[in-house]
């Protein structure tokens, strides 16, 4: 397959304007005649559905949760970047663009990132107008903070609940269109297949999660805003329901999946406390501003932290990275925590944790200042662990947090299946091999409010879409496939629960395709994944029936897809013989132990084409060109 990324040529700052000018428009009176399907109601999905509804299209929006307001975008804490330069500190669209390309370790498309930086300013305006209560200065203007290693203050925030407030803004815009009759909302409805007719995405097959009914919905274009696949690791900071099913089933219908091995680990999460652990809770990275990270120098030192004298502590980040210290980027901080624990110097009952100690800051600044800065985070930590972080150092450990990979899309955010658009975390487009803090919210809203509403229109106006009907064989075949799979899952009637398989799968992926990877480990992982998948299909027990509110059945379908994705992640990680961003191959590191990119051989997007169950996927490369930001080695020494 040939990939055409449809990146226009010319000066980068003119590309999006010219693209928009060259787009064909849909006559306002005709918009109502086009039915569009939006799957997912997070920042990307809700903003797209609302905006397309406002434009006059006939929109159907689907989510598996009981309400569109629950999508996992809601859990984002930190903030949203925008190149407003309100702080007059030298920020600009070009600087945000530069930081994002560099932060992504030179594995993102320049044209996409530049557009994202341009649009960032409109997002803030839109959200303010919707009534998002961003933090303000006493004079009434918007306030900013710096975030994620940026040297300018460009992050807008609403307390520690920025994602929630932005999502509620998009949700309210969506509900306004529901009231207006332009959007029909389908909560508790899961997409289980994509309907492709004459090579174009024309609809979806869904299951009503309350009644179990299988339905089809046809339209002129399908837009997926179904989020990332971090839950392949079982333990992640994602919501329990977050899954790859919509993306994966589209992949099996022909949409290429790009850079699946690019996953991001967040260094400051609350460690696992036992086998029953169901998810990991993230704490804002801002804690590293005043906390010092350390482990005992001695292996297996089980003394309580206050009994370990200063001389027997290893502040390993300060030791290895004297200039950045505890503030090194996410991937570096995470990897070093893993090394400390691998050496047997981890703390806590499981040995999978490192201390984040505020004692020095409390002595220096006073308890009150620390309380003002981090009070809510300290409360949350205490609520979960039962330990008082003012008295005892916090224990933290890295966790999977975001996935940069996703369905491949061109500059118009259209996948390799015409008529299938992919937005937000579900696509691969803007973050390269590593995402900067406060950029996920920006990308979701940029795609949903300001990009896909135009590009979908261009697609509809430039292509003659045949009339289709429910009676076509493609529709019936897709439904039959979904029903077969449901029956198959229920019929196994083995001994093990879905969660037990998911947990085991997650452990394999975490051990071999997590924070650091080796060729040998990845090969082993692929074998183990295949074996476990075999067992899954022979020894799974799903109680209940298909015509029921059946949470085990929902999970079973999602885990089945995670099995296939997990293998592809390992294949992708094995194929990429370099280290970059979130992908760290132990074989490829500098003498100082830093990631070693190989720009001569791996400066491309790895897009994978599905070739049938059990057959190896085929790699299609999209070469990346850097005309503006020249690849350089990251250094935080």
Partner 1 sequence: MRLKLKIWRQQSRSAAGKFVSYPMDDANPDMSMLECLDVLNERLIEAGEDPVAFEHDCREGICGSCGFMINGVAHGPLPATTVCQLTLRHFKEGQELVLEPWRARAFPLIKDLVVDRRSFDRIISSGGYVSVSTGSAPDGNAILVSKESADRAMDAAACIGCGACVAACPNASAALFTGAKIAHLGILPQGKPERDVRALRMVAQMNAEGFGGCTNIGECTGVCPKEIPLEVIAAMNRDYIRGSWRERDNLVTTIRPFTEWSTGSKLKVDRATE
- Please identify every residue annotated as catalytic: 330
Please report, as residue ranges, which positions from 559 to 618 form the binding site for partner 1 (by CB under 8 A). none
Q: Which of 139, 300, 309, 614 binds partner 1 (CB under 8 A)?
A: 139
For residues 458 and 135, give the distance between their C-alpha atoms in angstroms, rounded to a whole number.
37
If we measure between CA atoms, which residue out of 558, 559, 568 comes closest to residue 619?
Answer: 568
Residue 44 C-beta: closest distance to partner 1, Å: 13
Site for partner 1 in 296-325 (CB under 8 A): none
Among 24, 32, 199, 211, binds partner 1 (CB under 8 A): 211
Contact residue for partner 1 among 204, 221, 282, 607 (CB under 8 A): 282
Helix (H, G, I), strand (E, B) or coil at 74: helix
All residues at 6 or more sequence positions from 151 whose CB lies less than 8 Å from its CB, including other chains = none
The 3-state DSSP class for residue 598 equals: coil
**Of residues 92, 146, 385, 518, which one binds partner 1 by CB under 8 A?**
385
Q: Which of 92, 161, 350, 472 contacts partner 1 by CB under 8 A?
A: 161
Residue 134 or 248: which CB sits closer to partner 1? 134
How distant is the alpha carbon of residue 464 from its chain centre? 34
Of 48-56, 259-267, 358-366, 419-427, the segment contacting partner 1 by CB under 8 A is 48-56
Query: Is there binding between residue 504 and partner 1 (CB under 8 A)?
Result: no
Q: Is 67 in the site for partner 1 (CB under 8 A)?
A: yes
Of 156, 134, 173, the closest CA to residue 47 belongs to 173
Task: Find the binder of partner 1 among 239, 293, 341, 451 (CB under 8 A).
Answer: 239
Identify which of residues 161 and 463 has a Cβ nearer to partner 1 in the complex. Answer: 161
DSSP 323: T
391 binds partner 1 (CB under 8 A): no
Cα separation, 193 vs 412, in Å, equals: 23
Alpha-carbon gap, residue 57 to 37, rounded angstroms: 10
Under rule CB under 8 A, which residues in 71-130 are in contact with partner 1? 72, 74-75, 84, 86, 122, 124-130
Q: Is 133 in the site for partner 1 (CB under 8 A)?
A: yes
Q: For partner 1, which is the closer residue by CB, 125 or 575?
A: 125
**172 touches partner 1 by CB under 8 A:** yes
**Residue carrying the six token digits 């918007």:** 142
Q: How far is the CB of 202 from partner 1 (least distance, A)?
A: 26
Shortest distance, position 214 Cβ to partner 1, whole Å: 17
Residue from 140, 300, 309, 612 touching partner 1 (CB under 8 A): that is: 140
**Interacting positions 176-205 with partner 1 (CB under 8 A):** 176, 178-179, 185, 187
Distance, in Å, from the CA atom of 310 to the CA atom of 305, rounded to the nearest integer, reads 10
Q: Exposed (0-12), middle (13-18) or buried (19+): which is 535, by Cβ within 10 Å? A: middle
* Of residues 433-462, those binding partner 1 (CB under 8 A): 449-450, 453
| Least distance from partner 1 to the Cβ atom of residue 349, Å | 9
CB 406 within 8 A of CB 422: yes
Contact region for partner 1 (CB under 8 A) — 133-141, 417-425, 593-601, 616-624? 133-141
CB 34 within 8 A of CB 27: no
The three-state (H, E, C) secondary structure of 275-322, written as one string: CCCCCCCECCHHHHHCCEEEEECCCCCCCCHHHCCHHHEECHHHHHCC
Question: Quick check: 549 binds partner 1 (CB under 8 A)?
Answer: yes
* Contact residue for partner 1 among 19, 51, 416, 427 (CB under 8 A): 51
CA distance 143 to 314: 37
Q: How far is the CB of 511 from partner 1 (least distance, A)?
A: 22
Nearest alpha carbon to residue 286 among 393, 383, 370, 230: 370
Spacing of C-alpha 199 from chain mean position: 28
Q: Smallest distance from the beta carbon of 385 to partner 1, in angstroms?
A: 7
Query: Which of these segments, 22-30, 132-140, 146-154, 414-422, binds partner 1 (CB under 8 A)?
Result: 132-140
Maximum Cα interatomic distance, the chain, rounded to a whole number of Å: 76
């Amino acid at each position: 397959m040939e990939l055409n990324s449809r990146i226009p040529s010319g000066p980068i700052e003119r590309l999006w304007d010219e693209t928009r000018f060259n787009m064909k428009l849909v006559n306002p009176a005709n918009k109502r005649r086009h039915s569009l399907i939006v799957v997912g109601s997070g920042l990307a999905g809700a903003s797209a559905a609302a905006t397309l509804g406002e434009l006059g299209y006939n929109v159907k929006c689907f989510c598996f949760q009981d309400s569109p307001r629950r999508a996992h975008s809601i859990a984002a804490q930190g903030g949203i970047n925008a190149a407003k330069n309100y702080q007059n500190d030298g920020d600009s669209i070009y600087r945000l663009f530069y930081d994002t390309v560099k932060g992504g370790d030179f594995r993102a498309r320049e044209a996409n990132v530049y557009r994202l930086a341009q649009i960032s300013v409109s997002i803030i305006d839109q959200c303010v107008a919707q009534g998002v209560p961003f933090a303000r200065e006493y004079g009434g203007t918007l306030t900013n903070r710096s975030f994620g290693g940026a040297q300018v203050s460009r992050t807008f925030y609403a307390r520690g609940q920025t994602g929630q407030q932005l999502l509620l803004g998009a949700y309210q815009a969506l509900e306004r269109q529901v009231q207006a009759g332009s959007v029909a909302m389908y909560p508790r409805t899961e997409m289980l297949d994509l309907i492709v007719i004459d090579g174009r995405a024309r609809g979806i097959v869904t299951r009503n999660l309350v009644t179990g009914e299988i339905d089809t919905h046809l339209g002129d274009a399908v837009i997926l805003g179904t989020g990332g696949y971090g839950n392949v690791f079982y333990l992640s900071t994602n919501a329990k329901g977050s899954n790859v099913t919509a993306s994966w089933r589209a992949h099996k219908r022909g949409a290429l999946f790009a850079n699946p091995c690019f996953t991001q680990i967040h260094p400051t999460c609350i460690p696992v406390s036992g086998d029953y652990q169901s998810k990991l809770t993230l704490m804002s990275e801002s804690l590293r501003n005043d906390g010092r990270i350390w482990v005992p120098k001695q292996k297996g030192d089980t003394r309580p932290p206050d009994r370990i004298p200063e001389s027997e502590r290893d502040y390993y980040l300060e030791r290895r990275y004297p200039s950045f210290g505890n503030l090194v980027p996410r991937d570096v901080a995470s990897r070093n925590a893993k090394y400390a624990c691998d050496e047997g110097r981890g703390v806590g009952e499981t040995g999978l944790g490192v201390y984040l100690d505020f004692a020095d800051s409390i002595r220096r600044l006073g308890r009150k200042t620390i309380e003002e800065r981090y009070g809510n985070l300290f409360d949350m930590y205490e609520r979960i662990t039962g330990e008082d972080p003012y008295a005892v150092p916090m224990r933290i450990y890295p966790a999977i947090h975001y996935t940069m990979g996703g369905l491949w899309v061109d500059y118009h955010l259209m996948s390799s299946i015409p008529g299938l658009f992919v937005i937000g975390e579900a696509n691969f487009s803007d973050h390269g091999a590593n995402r900067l803090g406060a950029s996920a919210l920006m990308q979701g809203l940029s795609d949903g409010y300001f990009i896909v509403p135009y590009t979908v229109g261009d697609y509809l106006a430039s292509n003659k879409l045949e009339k289709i009907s429910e009676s076509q064989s493609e529709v019936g075949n897709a439904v039959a496939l979904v029903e077969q799979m449901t029956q198959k899952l229920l019929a196994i009637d083995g001994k093990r629960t879905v969660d037990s398989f998911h947990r085991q799968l997650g452990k394999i992926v975490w051990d071999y395709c997590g924070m650091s990877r080796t060729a040998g480990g990845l090969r082993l992982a692929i074998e183990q994944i295949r074996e476990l998948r075999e067992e899954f299909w022979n020894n799974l027990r799903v109680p209940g029936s298909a015509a029921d509110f059946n949470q085990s059945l929902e999970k079973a379908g999602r885990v089945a897809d995670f099995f296939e994705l997990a293998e592809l992640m390992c294949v992708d990680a094995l194929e990429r013989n370099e280290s970059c961003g979130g992908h760290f191959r132990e074989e490829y590191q500098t003498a100082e132990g830093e990631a070693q990119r190989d720009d001569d051989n791996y400066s491309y997007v790895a897009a994978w084409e599905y070739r049938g169950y059990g057959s190896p996927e085929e790699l299609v490369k999209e070469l990346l060109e850097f005309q503006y930001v020249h690849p350089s080695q990251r250094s935080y020494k």
